[in-house]
Structure 1
Amino acid sequence: MQFRESQPIYLQIADYVCERILLKEWKTGERIPSVRELAVQLEVNPNTVLRTYDYLQQNEIIQNQRGVGYHVSSSAMKTAMKYRRNDFMERDLPSLFRNLYLLDMEIEELAVMYEKYKRSNFNEKSNMSRVK
C-alpha cells in the first residue's frame, strides 16, 4: 500500500478497512485480519494497525471478540459509509470544486465520465464488487 504524507497512516489504513467493508469483501460478522496479519500485509508497524483498529472500534465499524479476534460490526456498512462520505466531503470535494472552477468545467461533464467509470470498474450486479 502506498501511503500519502498528507494524512496519518492509521487513518489511511482505516480508509482501507472501510473500503473492504463497502466493497463487501469483508461482510458483517466476519472475522477480519488480525493486527499482525494486516501489519505484515500492509508493511506497517503492528502498533499502527492496533491504533487503526482502536479507532474503528470507537466508531463502531469493527468489534473485538475477546479471544477470537476483530469482526465487522452489524452497523459497519452504514457507519463506514457515513465515515467515508464525511471524509470525502471535507477533504476531497473542495479540491474537486476548485479544479472544476479553475478548468472552467461543469458538473454535467463529470456525470458522463462517472457513469463510464462505474461501468468499466464495477460489476453491475453488485454495483461495488470490484475495483481496478
Structure 2
Amino acid sequence: MEFSEGKNIYVQIRDRLVDQILTGMLLPGDKIPSVRELAVDLEVNRNTVMRSYALMEQEGIVDNRRGIGFFVSSNARQRLTQDEKEIFIKQELPRLVHQAKVLKMLPADFKDLFDQLNENQNENKQ
C-alpha cells in the first residue's frame, strides 16, 4: 500500500479496510489481520494500525474479541454503504456536478461514461 500525503496514515489504513468490506473481500464475521501482522505488511508502527482499528471499532465496523482479534461487524457493510453514500452525495457529487457544468457535459454523457467505466471494471475482474 502506498500512502498519500494530506491524509493521516491510520485513516488511509481504515479506508483500505472499508473498501475491502464494501467490495466483499471482507465479509461479516471475517477476522481482519492482527495489528502486528498488518503493521509488518504495511511497514508502519503498530500504534498506527491500532489507531485504525480503534477508529473502526468506534464506528461499529469491527468488533474486538479480546485475546482473539478484530472481526468485521455483522452490519458493517450496510452501515458503511449508507455512510459512504452520504459522504459521496455531500462532498464528491457537488464537485463532480460543478466540473460537468464547466465542461458543458449533459446527464446523458454521464450515463454513457458510467456504463463504459462499469464495463471496463467488469472486464478487469475477469
Q: TM-score range by the shorter chain?
A: 0.7 to 0.9
Residue 84, structure 1, aligned to residue 59, structure 2:
no
Aligned ranges 1:47-126 → 2 under 5 Å: 47-122=47-122
- Deviation string, structure 1 residues 17-49 (Cα, Å, up to 9, x no partner): 111011111111010111122222233222121
Contact 1:21 1:77 in 2 (8 A): yes
The separation in 2 between residues aligned to 1:5 and 1:92, in whole angstroms, is 19
| 1:69 Cα deviation after fit | 0.4
Greater Cα shift, 19-28 or 83-92 = 83-92
Structure 2 CA distance for aligned equivalents of residues 82 and 97 of structure 1: 21
How is 1:3-82 mapped onto 2 (pairs within 5 angstroms)? 3-82=3-82
- CA drift of 1:58 comes to 0.8
Post-superposition offset of 1:78:
0.6
Distance 1:98 1:8, change over 3 A: farther
The percentage of aligned residue pairs carrying the same residue is 36
Contact preservation (8 Å) 1:15, 1:84: no
Q: Would the alpha carbon gap of residues 36 and 91 (structure 1) be closer, same or farther in structure 2, given more than 3 Å must change?
A: farther
Q: Which amino acid aligns with 1:104?
A: K
Point out where structure 2 has 5 or more consecutive residues left out of the alignment. none
Is the Cα contact below 8 Å between 1:59 and 1:79 reproduced in 2? Answer: no
- Which amino acid letter does the alignment assign opposite residue 81 of structure 2? M
Distance in 1, Cα, partners of 2:125 & 2:39: 22
The answer on whether the counterparts of 1:63 and 1:71 sit within 8 Å (CA) in structure 2 is yes
Change (3 A) 1:70 1:4: same
Question: CA separation in 2, counterparts of 1:81 and 1:8?
Answer: 22
* CA shift in 2, pair 1:81/1:117, >3 Å: same
Q: Distance in 2 between matches of 1:99 and 1:43?
A: 37
* Alignment: residue pair count: 126
Between the aligned partners of 1:41 and 1:87, the Cα distance in structure 2 is: 29
Give the structure-1-normalised TM-score: 0.82
Higher helix share: 2
